[in-house]
Structure 1
Amino acid sequence: MWKVLITDKLAQEGIDIINAAEGFEAVVKTGISEDELASIIGEYDGLIIRSGSKVTAKVLANPGKLKGVARAGVGVDNIDVKEATRKGILVMNTPGGNTLSAAEHTMALMLAMSRNVVPACNSLKAGAWDRKKYTGNQLNHKVLGLIGLGRIGMAVAQMARGFNMKVLGYDPLAAPKDAEQQGVEVTDDIERIFKESDFISLHVPRNEQTLNMIGTKQFEMMKPTVRLVNCARGGIINEEALYDALASKRIAAAALDVFSSEPPENIRFAELDNCLVTPHLGASTEEAQVEVAVEAAEILLDAIKGGPIKNALNAPSTGGAMPPMVSRYAELARRVGALLSTIAPGNIKGIEVQYRGAIAAMDVEPVTLGFLMGLLQQHFEMPLNMVNTPVLAKERGISIDETKNAEAKDVASSFSAKVVTTKGTRAVTGSVFGERLLRIIEIDGFNIEMTPQGAVLVIFNDDKPGVIGAVGTVCGKHGINIGTMGVGQKLEEHKAILAVSLDKEPDAEAVAELGKLDFVNEIYVCTL
């Protein structure tokens, strides 16, 4: 008998699916402590949670029979995914279950703002009858600017088209190939969203790229009549800048379903009539709760029975089953992808990878997937792996042209990747020396040798004397130690590149000071 433990409130439909499956039993124990969960978890083959339970390293210390954890929802902040992976336990979520609920809540907030539903309701309940004061605006023919064109963003686009809105879409990664066919005008210039939109709705994860994406500078670009909706993640809009924009009537209104900290510490929004707030209700519909419960039950049953694995956020390590060369090149490719995700800004338009030499004669699918994982990770909150990366890439219309050439060039084996974006093209080549040493040997045609590990600084610069000394001086001033340094030149163009591995990532002040050096054309920092 396989037993599945459920430690948070779950729709009965999900529980019924488990109990109806042959050889399965659902055991519901809600509200248990971390210590109690840790003491009993090894007795169960599967675990289903929502946001209340914490699956910590302590809980996973003695996992016993546990094969998988399913989160009935999207976020996995309450699961130690790294520890689960180390213990060979699958972690799965249900990203599609709340799509329509979140999209509908977005539309509900847009309508509530445009028609002054909440203040008008409160006014009438207080005994007033002030129709003129609460005259609203139609959605018809208004421009909706969508930032993020994933599942929820595209669902909002479809609904907005039903209101005859013009939809302008931007995605920091890549827009779905059929976005234009679905009535979305795709732009790679996010400032168009700020300048042209009557409504702006956010549908991107919170990460380094999107944190404080909208602040004072962006509010200054917007129409004074614009209305903002955030049903994605708190922190994407700078809350202090938003408060100032609303209080000064720089923008017309905003509706927030998410906050930087929840419950929100900043309650000043309660003072503003032009700010509508809800307590993270995007996925809070009866239908969504049923869908995520059913999906969580189904994917967990499949995983326990050894069937197809769906929505996995991790995967048991397959490193031991790979040939050592493939395993090392997969890790090299992941780091090359992470480097390119930093030095190749813009929306992805095309990707090419090439294998040369001995590696070209092997099964390189894990290497290509490793590259994609590194390239895309910063655009997703969930950990990417060989299970979910191909699905997420396909959703965004991202494909890779792969070529193999058994003839070696310069080194015995190499992996090269070229990424074409809306802002240009970048190419990186790497190799593995002595079966274990990972090296970057070329960036954008510059021959260079760099160790792709830890904090890395890449500077595209004018080829002139004093570059190395000046960079070293600034790093030393800020207490940053240089590990390895690679220099490449294009003498005929008077251009050069400097790639430096550092003992720690430079802070914004150090990067700004480096960027002011007169020879610097472009500067990038990433951690590999």
Structure 2
Amino acid sequence: MIRILITDKLAQEGIDLLKRMDGVEPVVKKGVSEDELAEIIGQYDGLIVRSETKVTARVLEKPGKLKGVARAGVGVDNIDVPAATRKGVLVMNTPGGNTLSAAEHTMALLLAMSRNVVPACNSLKAGTWDRKKYTGNQLNGKVLGLIGLGRIGMAVARMARGFNMKVLGYDPLAAPPDAEKIGVEVTTELERIFRESDVISVHVPKNEQTLNMIGAAQIEMMKPTVRLVNCARGGIINEAALADALAKGRIAGAALDVFPKEPPEEYWFKDLANCLVTPHLGASTEEAQIEVAVEAAQILADAIKGGPVRNALNAPSTPGAAPPQVMQYAELGRRIGLVASTITPGHIKSVGVEYRGSIAEMDVDMVTLNFSMGLLQKHFDLPLNMVNTPVLAKERGISIDVTKNTASKDVAGSFSAKVVTDKITRTITGTVFGGALLRIIEIDGFKIEVTPQGTALVIFNDDKPGVIGAVGTVCGKHGINICTMGVGQKAEAGQAVLAVSLDKAPNAEAVEELGKLDFVNELYVCKLD
């Protein structure tokens, strides 16, 4: 008998589905503590949670029979995915179930703002009939600027086209092939979104690149009649800058369903009539709750029974599944992908990898996949793995051209990646020395040698004396040790690349100080572990 534990409120339809399955017994225990869950978890084959239950490393310390955890929803912040992976426990989510609900909520907020629904309702309930004061605006013909063209962003685009809105779309990674087919004008210039839109809606994950993506400088570019909507993640729009702009009437309005901390510590919006807020209701529809419950139950039961594994967010390690050389190159590929994603600005147009020498004689699918995971990870707020990476890449129209050449060049074997964006082309080559030492040996034709580990600093600079000393001085001033260093020069062009691995990440002050050095042209901080 397969026993599946449910510890959060789950739509009855999901529980009923499990009850109808032969050999499956759902057990509902809501409100269990971490201590209790850690004690009993090993008695169950599967666990279904929403957002309340915390599946910590301590809970997973003795997994016993546990084979999988399903999150009825998208975010897995409440699940220690690395700990589950180490214990061989699958973690799955239900990313599609909330899509329409989140998109509809975006449109609901947009309509409510445009037609002053909330203040007009409150005014009439208070006994005042005032049609003139609450005159609104049509959506017809207005420009909707979408930042993020994933599942939800594309769903919003389709709905907005139904209102005859002009949709201008930007995606930090790459626009899906279907975007233009449904009437989205795709742009690679984020500033166009800020300058041309009547409404701006964000649909990107929160990460280092998108945190405070919209601040005071971006708001200054906008029309005074613009309205902002955030049903994605709190913190993408800087709250202090937004509050100031709303208070001063610099923009027409904003609607927020998400906040950096939930519930908010400060209700800064309570006296702002032009700020519409809801308590993270994007996925809160009966239909969405049923859909994610049923999907979570189905995918978990299928996985436990040995059937297809869908929506897996981790891939339990399988030592010995590939030759040691391939495993080493797979890790090298992942780290080169992380470096490439950091030092290659712009929207991806094409990606190619080349294997030379001894590694070209082997099955390298695992290496290519690991490179893809490193390259794309920062653009998604869920862990990428061998299961979901190909699917997510395909959705964005990204494919990787693979070439092999058994003739070696400079070293016995090498892996090279070429990433072309709308702004730049980057090439990075690496190798594995002695079967275990990972090295990057070339960046954009500059011959270097640096270990891709921890935090790496990549500086494109003018070729002049004193570069190494100046960088070392700044690092030393901030208590940062340089572990390995590689310098590549093109003397005829007067250009060079300095790549160093550091024992810790530089803080914002150190990065700013390094960036002000007179020889620095481009500066990138790559986090590789």
TM-score range, shorter chain: over 0.9
Does residue 27 in structure 1 map to residue 27 in structure 2?
Answer: yes
After superposition, where does 1:83-482 map in structure 2 within 5 Å? 83-482=83-482
> 3-state DSSP class of the match of 1:349?
strand
Does 469-478 or 389-398 show the bigger shift? 469-478
Paired amino acid for 1:383: P
1:509 shift after superposition: 1.3
Corresponding residue number in structure 2 for 1:76? 76
RMSD over equivalenced CA pairs, Å: 0.7
For residues 233-257 of structure 1, the C-alpha deviation after alignment (integer angstroms, 9 at most, x for no partner) is 0010111110000000000000000
Structure 1: gaps spanning 5 or more residues? none
One-letter code of the match for 1:311? Answer: N
Partner secondary structure for residue 270 of structure 1: coil
> 1-side partners of 2:259 and 2:143: how far apart?
25
- Distance in 2 between the 1:306 and 1:274 partners? 53
Which consecutive residues of structure 2, in runs of 5 or more, have no partner in the other structure?
none
Amino acid at match of 2:172: P
What's the CA shift string for 1:209-252, capped at 9, x where partnerless?
10011110011000000000000000101111100000000000
Distance (whole Å) between structure 2 residues aligned to residue 476 and residue 57 of structure 1? 36
Distance 2:59 2:320 in 1: 26
Equivalent residue letter for 2:322: M
Matched position secondary structure for 1:314: coil
| Deviation by residue 1:291-350 (Cα, 9 ceiling, x = unmatched) | 101110110011101111100000111232110000000000000000001000111110
Per the TM alignment, residue 17 of structure 1 is displaced from its structure 2 partner at its CA by 1.2
Sequence identity of aligned pairs in percent? 79
Aligned mates of 1:467, 1:61 — CA distance in 2: 48
Distance across 2 between alignment mates of 1:189 and 1:103: 24
Q: Give the Cα–Cα distance (whole angstroms) in 2 for the partners of residues 398 and 513 of structure 1.
A: 36
The Cα of 1:504 is off from its aligned counterpart by 1.1
Give the TM-score taking structure 1 as reference length. 0.99
Q: Residues 270-310 of structure 1: CA distance to partner in whole angstroms, max 9, x if unpaired?
A: 10100000000000000000110111011001110111110
Give the whole-Å Cα distance in 2 for the aligned partners of 1:76 and 1:512: 33
Check if 1:494 corresponds to 2:491.
Answer: no
1:424 Cα offset (Å): 0.6
Structure 1 outlier segments of 4+, above 4 Å = none
Question: Cα deviations across residues 398-449 of structure 1 (Å, max 9, x unaligned)?
Answer: 1001101111111110000000011110010000000000000000000110
Amino acid at match of 1:234: G
SS at match of 1:268: coil
Structure 2 distance, partners of 1:457, 1:527, is: 9
Partner Cα separation in structure 1 for residue 401 and residue 321 of structure 2 = 26
C-alpha displacement of 1:266: 2.1
After alignment, is 378-387 or 140-149 more displaced? 378-387
SS in 1 for 2:270: helix
What amino acid maps onto 2:356 in structure 1?
Answer: R
SS of the residue corresponding to residue 498 of structure 1 reads: strand
Separation in 2, partners of 1:505, 1:60: 30
Q: Which amino acid aligns with 1:118?
A: V
TM-score of the superposition, structure 2-length normalised?
0.99
Alpha-carbon separation, structure 2, partners of 1:502 and 1:80: 27
Which letter maps to 2:268? R
Secondary structure at 2:281 match in 1: coil
Paired amino acid for 1:445 = G
Shift of 1:166: 0.3
